[in-house]
Amino acid sequence: MTKAVRTFWRIFFGCVAAFILFLLMINWGWIGDMPSIDDIENPSALQASQVFADDGTPMGKYLIQDRVSVPNKDISKHVINALVATEDKRFYDHSGIDGYSLLRAFGYLGTGGGASTITMQTAKNLFTKNWSTKNIFLRVIQKLKESIIAIKLERNFTKEEIVTLYLNTVEFSDNVFGIKNAANTFFQKEPDRLNIEEAAVLVGMVNAPGIYNPRTNPKRALERRNIVLNRMVDYERANLKEAEALVLKKKPIELSYRKLNENNGLGPYFRMVLAEDMKKWCKEHKKSNGDNYNLYRDGLKIYTTISPRMQQYAEEAVANHMATMQRLLNMQENIKKGTVWKGFENVLETAARQSDRWKNLKSDGMSDDEIRKTFDQKTRMRIFAWNPSRYSDTTMTPWDSIKYHRQMLQAGFMVMNPLDGQIKAWVGGIDFKTYKYDHANINTKRQVGSTMKPLLYSLAIEEAGFSPNTTVYDNQQSFGGFGMVPATSKTCTGQAMPMAMALAKSRNCATAYVLKQLDNGGNNGAKRLIDFLRKCNFTSNIPAYPSIGIGSCELSLYEMMQGYSMFPGRGFNSKPMYITRIEDRNGNVLATFTPQRKEVISDQTAYSVIKMMQEVLRIGTGAGIWQYDPPFAEMAGKTGTTNDNSDAWFMGYTPQLLAGGWVGCDDRFIRFNTASKNGEGGRAAMPIWAIFMKKAAADPNCGLDTKLSFVKPENMPEITIQDDASILSGEGPSTGTESDYELPKNVTKEDIGAESEIPVDQKKATEKPKQNIPPATPAQQPPNTPNKKGENLMPPKKPGGTRR
């Protein structure tokens, strides 16, 4: 052997040894990270956490990457056949690396097709980072790493498991990851229900998600789909005949596009509140590896109590009525002329400085004076509007835009089962895209006005021996050093009346009399009421002043719902709940939640208050409810209005369902004029309740029995309340007709629908006939066993001042 030959072989074997060493160094993780065997056997990818309604309807997600995993059995065979036919037709014959494709790639220098197999692509999706780098040396290392991981994947997984891993991790168009999300987003179907042409569209995307996006590039997507269909014809496993493919290729792509994010999806305000609670839960709970759960990474499944139907009806009710009320407010002189802002210019200035526009211009180096001038220059912009699309494109100054948006009436509305506390609908505002502030949660507090009175009267019955027919006096009351309540006697009639009439007519002076009878020693009556509210689980800081009896304190709608639950709950107070259980990505139950109830008043007291609150609707401040033709045999409620019409409330219930609403502007000086009855609870808030209840009662899926009556406790004599027409109402009843509430021209109530939508053609839970919920009895106790896995899961596969 000549010296040259020996040198050649030395170099050759040296290179082989160096290459083998190089591969070993990659495998050992000396050159870049290499996943361990445990990592490969238990691959993890960022997964979106999902929120489900009470029937399994997907409500939305919390995500960094829009990825959700599904098992192989829940993926259509058409998807798998299309994928293998298009990306790796020898997938079932190789062991992770396709020798033929590798030789072809080297021989044609990549122009004849790549060498990457489905297994290698799965490795890339799961375990390699920065794979889009253009650095040739890094790409070589990455390809070698993918090949090594691919071999390990093939040793540890079956072919079905590998293709499932791939489909759960691959990116589709619009930054959607995983076949489940892709099927849901582009076709609103579960992945096992995709037909051949839909499967071909989705598989066609993975080669270039931006180029073959059927939403933005329909022509290219159609061409790519037909290429996939052609390859399926050539792939025997697909069992697709050429004649069938010809028929399919003539069809257009029919999308049913709907991508879930923080804005669209069901109940956006609710999901925002839920996210904050889930973040706290994640901080307090750890995974098996000792790390805390992460809401945006760990693929949690959160099952809630929300009813999709009731949520939709609640949003429709808010939209229907608030569009009407906003037009009435806009017709008010001080709103039309802008004089409502006189003396409150600082509010506008603060809002301008907090705006994104101001912050962006500031970061660009503009001075405050220069920025302020831009707010007086007209510009093209999109604003919120009460129309079917919920926006309008217009031209106005940013300064006027701030005024416009802050003059919008807001609302909070909540629906709850009073027997177990399960929240069925949650509406935190008029439009989540524009107004993120939630008005229904426990941290948002407003003066409650006369909705406090039923709570005070129940205490008087429970602990002071009062009854609905106890005589009370409508006179201003002195509380010694704590002043007079009400602050003025102008609204006092001096009449004697049954306590039931004082509630029905919402008499402030008579209510102050009731409070004083609890304990006439200075402020002791107020302290006694606060103790009772604490017993009812009110957690807000309530100042001990006698005016709280007529609603001067600020409380949340959430707390009011809990407080009022004791009336239809027959004395049992139910804590609002909206999560039933939390599961990990594999379906293992991590936490379950059960109703929390406690008895705070007797059944007899609860029934007495119910009878009085029925009078509120029959002849009192809520009598306007009858213009909405409510279908219930029995219902009860209470209106509430605070100083100068700043806050309007209505809390009402049937034997099965409790709902409450608040209406007002975030800036309290923006309100209906005091002389106008439009700002009272009976007009501004009560119609939302009435519209919602009528819609829910008409839908059998809501399970409401309109014939149910409130159950009188045994051995309790019937309560007969004598009404007196001479007693004036403290709040004017809403006696107008629907024709008094005009909508903008060419817009009807039906045009403005719910803000969020129930997903179309999603798999639903097995629908069993809804059982009517009977009124609670003293013997009834909340269930104390957690929901078993399988119940209500993702469904089986099938398509201080005067208060009035």
Q: How confident is the model at residue 528 (pLDDT cuts 50, 70, 90)?
A: very high
Greatest alpha-carbon span in the chain: 128
**CA 803/CA 354 separation, integer angstroms:** 34
**CA 687/CA 681 separation, integer angstroms:** 9
State whether 182 and 308 are in the same domain.
no
Within a domain: 561: yes
**CA 567/CA 569 separation, integer angstroms:** 5
State whether 599 and 633 are in the same domain.
yes
State whether 7 and 111 are in the same domain.
no
Task: List helix spans (H) across 308-354.
Answer: 308-330, 333-337, 345-353
Residue that is last in its domain, among 406, 434, 463: 406
State whether 199 and 241 are in the same domain.
yes
Query: What is the CATH classification number for the domain harbouring 598?
Result: 3.40.710.10
Q: Residue 545 above 70 pLDDT? A: yes
State whether 347 and 309 are in the same domain.
no
Strand 410-416 versus strand 658-664 pairing type: antiparallel
Q: Which two tokens stand for residue 614?
A: 């029925």
Question: How many domains is the chain built from?
Answer: 4
pTM of the model: 0.79
Residue that is last in its domain, among 383, 406, 429: 406
Radius of gyration of the chain (CA): 33
User: How many CB atoms neighbour CB 681 within 10 A?
Assistant: 31
Which amino acid makes up residue 264?
N
Are the beta carbons of 162 and 153 closer than 8 angstroms?
Answer: yes
Within a domain: 753: no
Q: How confident is the model at residue 136 (pLDDT cuts 50, 70, 90)?
A: low
Q: Which two tokens stand for residue 792?
A: 């209500």
State whether 101 and 4 are in the same domain.
no
| Helix (H) or strand (E) run with residue 376 in it | none
> Cβ-count burial of 443 within 10 angstroms (0-12 exposed, 13-18 middle, 19+ buried)?
exposed
Are the beta carbons of 60 and 308 closer than 8 angstroms?
Answer: no
According to DSSP, residue 649 is labeled: E
User: How many CB atoms neighbour CB 41 within 10 A?
Assistant: 13
Within a domain: 313: yes
Give the rounded percent of residues in the chain with a pLDDT score beyond 90.
62
Are the beta carbons of 49 and 61 closer than 8 angstroms?
Answer: yes
Helices 242-249 and 196-205 sit at what angle, rounded to 10 degrees? 70
Within a domain: 37: no
State whether 386 and 484 are in the same domain.
no
| Main-chain dihedrals φ then ψ at residue 209, nearest 5 degrees | -55, -35
Which amino acid makes up residue 184?
N
Q: How confident is the model at residue 444 (pLDDT cuts 50, 70, 90)?
A: very high
| Helix (H) or strand (E) run with residue 737 in it | none
The pLDDT tens digits for 188-219 are 899 999 999 999 999 999 989 999 999 999 99
Query: What is the CATH classification number for the domain harbouring 118?
Result: 1.10.3810.10
Average pLDDT over residues 262-278: 89
Q: Which two tokens stand for residue 230?
A: 């052609």
3-state secondary structure of 213: coil
State whether 732 and 659 are in the same domain.
yes
Phi-psi region of 364 (alpha: psi -120 to 50; beta: other; left: phi over 0): alpha
Average pLDDT over residues 433-448: 95
3-state secondary structure of 357: helix
The pLDDT tens digits for 697-743 are 999 999 999 999 999 999 899 888 877 777 878 764 433 333 333 33
Q: What is the DSSP string of 111-169?
A: TT-----HHHHHHHHHH-SSTT---HHHHHHHHHHHHHHHHHHHHHS-HHHHHHHHHHH
State whether 586 and 705 are in the same domain.
yes
Query: What percent of the residues of the chain are helix, what percent strand, and what percent coil, each to the nearest 5?
Result: 45, 10, 45
Q: Residue 372 above 90 pLDDT? A: yes
Within a domain: 394: yes
**CA 140/CA 105 separation, integer angstroms:** 14
What range defines the domain where residue 216 resides?
Answer: 69-258
Strand partners, 651: 638, 660
Secondary structure E strands in 221-369: 301-304
The pLDDT tens digits for 737-757 are 333 333 344 445 556 788 877
Residue that is last in its domain, among 377, 406, 435: 406
Within a domain: 528: yes
User: How many CB atoms neighbour CB 712 within 10 A?
Assistant: 15
State whether 470 and 583 are in the same domain.
yes
Q: How confident is the model at residue 797 (pLDDT cuts 50, 70, 90)?
A: very low
What pLDDT shows up at residue 348? 95
**CA 528/CA 541 separation, integer angstroms:** 15
State whether 161 and 149 are in the same domain.
yes
Lowest mean pLDDT among 204-218, 534-548, 766-780: 766-780
Within a domain: 40: no
State whether 507 and 372 are in the same domain.
no
Within a domain: 429: yes
What pLDDT shows up at residue 7? 77
